[in-house]
Amino acid sequence: MFNNLKDLRFMLMGFFPKFFTNDDILLELEELDSLVKTYGGQTKALIVQKGIHPSFTSYLGSGKVQQASDQISKEKIDIVVANDALRSGQLYTLEKIFQRANSNIQVWDKIYLILNIFDLHAQTADAKLQIKIASLKHMGPRIFGMGHILSRQAGGIGTRGIGETNTEIMKRHWRQEIYAIKKKINELEQNRFQQIEKRKKQGLITVSLVGYTNCGKTTLFNLLTKKNKYADDKLFATLDSTSGKLYLSDLNK
């Protein structure tokens, strides 16, 4: 998608309830900024609004959207990321307005940012397929919604707009792709199940390490198994499950 992730300039955009304090908002945005850094980007601008509920069509109010558009032009923003999940109509409206400031601008929501981080760090075939299907399920309905918007704009009374036809084609392709990925995932799960059954027959005891993201699971795993799996002080730096023999120093094995 981008040649150099480190050069990507992000704008953070968030809508928060009136009762949120500045500390509450700062905490939310610090996590979002941490996700941007994990992806490899840099936060260069910030737009925040408090109110009862987000705008149904544009997420933020018209005044804040204009402020965001001005900042996109001034700070040469590449990606705008919202702190919430965006509807198809909100995505369409924001992109259409922001493209006046930057024709190549992309508008993401927090979920799509996380999925892109997953895609960046996934190593195994299973992890990559799981992320791909999650991305399809998240963005598919939003893209279809944008297609319906285009249909209403292009189609007259008693006609089917070009957007509607394209949406039907996209939906068919979307369903076929999800089906194919699920089939591949099932095959990998069967192979994994056979490996687990083999370990059981050998009488091996299994110990699992579980915990929240960035709590040190991989670091602990490396210490216990004498392996050197990638670990970093970032959110979602390690995605793939792995296994290894536990090293017992007292028994020297």
Tell me: pLDDT of 4 over 80.
no
* Helices 22-39 & 110-121 angle (0-180, nearest 10): 30
How far apart CA 92 and CA 185 sit, in angstroms, is: 32
Going by pLDDT thresholds of 50, 70 and 90, the confidence category of residue 150 is low
Q: What is the pLDDT of residues 80-116, one digit of tens each?
A: 999 999 988 899 899 999 999 999 999 999 999 998 8
In 3D, which of 92, 117, 115 has the Cα closest to residue 36?
117
Tokens 């968030």 sit at which residue? 14
Tell me: pLDDT of 205 over 90.
no
**Rounded to the nearest 5°, which phi and psi values hold at 122?**
-65, 140
Mean pLDDT of the chain: 83
pLDDT of residue 176: 85
- In angstroms, how far is CA 67 from the centroid of its own chain? 25
In a 10 Å sphere around its CB, with 0-12 CB exposed, 13-18 middle and 19+ buried, how is residue 62 labelled? exposed
Give the CATH number of domain 5-111: 3.40.50.11060
Higher pLDDT, residue 95 or 205: 95
Tell me: pLDDT of 143 over 90.
no
How far apart CA 241 and CA 117 sit, in angstroms, is: 16
Q: What is the pLDDT of residues 190-201, one digit of tens each?
A: 887 887 788 778
Please, are residues 41 and 12 in contact by the beta-carbon 8 Å criterion?
A: no
pLDDT of residue 28: 94
Tokens encoding 206? 């299994």
Of the chain, the percentage scoring pLDDT greater than 90 comes to 40
- The predicted model gives 141-158 an average pLDDT of 55
- In angstroms, how far is CA 78 from the centroid of its own chain? 16
Please, are residues 91 and 24 in contact by the beta-carbon 8 Å criterion?
A: no
How far apart CA 209 and CA 240 sit, in angstroms, is: 13
Q: In what order do the strands lie in the sheet with 9-17?
A: 42-51, 9-17, 79-82, 106-109
Of the chain, the percentage scoring pLDDT greater than 70 comes to 81
